[in-house]
């Protein structure tokens, strides 16, 4: 009986881990609005990420899209990143995908933000993309 319970527990754990789906970008209300406002073709956005979810596109329309998204989400104010809003977003969105077992998601999100907040870029959209790439890189690092 113990063996059956143990096997079912392991099976449930495997199914739970394997059921984590990647984020579905560009389907939320703000993304849809920004796609329309910037007039960027969705195919450009769908091809901007590599297999590690790093933004590889340098297309000005991609940067305009991210500027729009960051402004509408209130991630930027007066040209500066808004820490609390961004940390809250990180903890609730990419973090559960990249680190589903994080013991303290808010701290992990804040640590990633603090390591990435000083990224550079010629325009706000480029800085936004660079911040997202940095945060993604931090969240995908293996824990010691």
Quick: pLDDT tens for 98-113. Answer: 999 999 999 999 999 9
**CATH architecture assignment, domain 23-140:** Orthogonal Bundle (1.10)
Instruction: Using the Cα atoms of residue 99, residue 100, residue 104 and residue 109 in order, give the sign of their dihedral.
Output: positive
Quick: pLDDT tens for 28-59. Answer: 899 999 999 999 999 999 899 898 889 999 99
The mean per-residue pLDDT over the stretch 122-136 comes to 96
In angstroms, the first-to-last Cα distance of the chain is 36
The mean per-residue pLDDT over the stretch 3-22 comes to 41
């Amino acid at each position: 009986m113990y063996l059956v319970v143990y096997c079912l527990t392991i099976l449930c754990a495997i199914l739970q881990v394997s059921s984590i789906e990647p984020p579905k970008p560009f389907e939320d209300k703000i993304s849809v609005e920004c796609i329309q406002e910037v007039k960027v073709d969705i195919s450009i956005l769908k091809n901007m990420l590599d297999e590690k979810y790093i933004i590889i596109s340098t297309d000005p329309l991609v940067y305009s899209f991210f500027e729009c998204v960051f402004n509408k989400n209130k991630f930027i104010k007066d040209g500066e990143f808004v820490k609390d809003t961004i940390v809250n977003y990180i903890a609730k969105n990419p973090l559960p995908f990249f680190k589903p077992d994080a013991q303290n998601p808010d701290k992990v999100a804040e640590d990633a933000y603090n390591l990435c907040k000083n990224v550079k870029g010629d325009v706000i959209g480029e800085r936004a993309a660079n911040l997202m790439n940095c945060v993604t890189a931090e969240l995908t690092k293996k824990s010691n």
